Amino acid sequence: MTTQYPDLKGARVLVTGASGGLGAAMARAFGAQGARVVVHYRTRAEGAAQTALAVAEAGGEAVKLRADLRSEAAIERLVDDAWQQWDGLDVVVNNAGVVLKAAILDAGSRWWDDVLNVNLRAPYLLSRRVAARMIDAGIRGTILHNSSIHARRSTRYFSAYAASKAALEMLASVQALEWAEHGIRVNCVAPGVVPVERTATALAEAEELWRPHIPLGRYGRPEEIAELTLFLASEASGWTTGQSYVADGGMLARIDMPRRPRPPLPPEPDLIEDD
């Protein structure tokens, strides 16, 4: 049963990367609180529409906005349009991310830049613009970044992804320090292994590889990560800022991580769009 947080009813929320996966689960969870949600997407318009419908069916309101988060101009328009839609923002969840599984010797600067642009640069630029508007409007808001257990302990072939998430957690710490005087809280959610649409089949096939490393003996569920996000967005965590909360079934409590085979070379990143 979903915990109800009265202060989230009517809250104005932006969730990036909400056309599926964890972002969609987070958007639906905010909808169940009666929040007004901006569903961000880049390519999956149909998925964003389904998320917006799910938010409305859960009891909230939703609109969808498209932006390529690798473009600074697109990020600025996204924030401005989201702000205008609900006449402000109370909660921002930087969920959108890129996962690259490749050997360091196989992936050159284009792959590295693409991962860092989406996973680190975009949250920096987006939260910076949101915080400035919150401060001007006197809004004591909440900013959340979606990190990962790979920020603490990674495995082979995750160099760019792990580096981006580790840097994101340190960014959150500095943002929390700089913006605390304005009443803006900044925290991270760091999920473990949680199957979503694009990973469900692969993780099901590799369950015997991963499950022995998860003390609770199962993968996480998107709804469990969404519940943690709600808690950190609400006043129930009003004295919490600059922290990263791990939800991984106890995986980081172990000292080992599975060894995976070397993955094939990934496709080239596509071009940055500036709408």
Q: What is the DSSP string of 40-58?
A: EESS-HHHHHHHHHHHHHH
Write down the pLDDT at residue 197: 77
Percent of the chain scored above 90 by pLDDT? 74
Per the domain annotation, does 135 fall within a domain? yes
Mean pLDDT value of segment 180-186: 98
Residues 74-84: tens digit of each pLDDT: 999 999 999 99
Residues 122-135: tens digit of each pLDDT: 999 999 999 999 99
230: helix, strand or coil: helix
Write down the pLDDT at residue 162: 94
Per the domain annotation, does 16 fall within a domain? yes
Write down the pLDDT at residue 52: 97
The CATH number that applies at residue 135 is: 3.40.50.720
Residues 1-35: tens digit of each pLDDT: 578 999 999 999 999 999 999 999 999 999 999 99
Write down the pLDDT at residue 255: 62
Per the domain annotation, does 54 fall within a domain? yes
Range of the domain at 236: 7-253
Give yes or no for a contact between 154 and 257, defined as CB atoms under 8 angstroms apart.
Answer: yes
Residues 216-250: tens digit of each pLDDT: 999 999 999 999 999 999 999 999 999 999 999 99
Tokens of 135: 């401060």
89 vs 207, higher pLDDT: 89
275 vs 194, higher pLDDT: 194
Residue 174 pLDDT exceeds 80: yes
User: Which residues are identified as catalytic?
Assistant: 161
Look over the chain and give the mean of its residue pLDDT values, rounded to a whole number: 92
Give yes or no for a contact between 187 and 226, defined as CB atoms under 8 angstroms apart.
Answer: no
Tokens of 9: 């009813």
Per the domain annotation, does 265 fall within a domain? no
Q: How far apart are CA 186 and CA 168, in angstroms?
A: 11
Count structural domains, the chain: 1
Per the domain annotation, does 181 fall within a domain? yes
Binned at pLDDT 50, 70 and 90, residue 213 comes out as confident
Per the domain annotation, does 36 fall within a domain? yes
Per the domain annotation, does 264 fall within a domain? no
Provide φ and ψ at 187, rounded to 5°.
-140, 170
Binned at pLDDT 50, 70 and 90, residue 68 comes out as very high
Per the domain annotation, does 1 fall within a domain? no
259 vs 168, higher pLDDT: 168
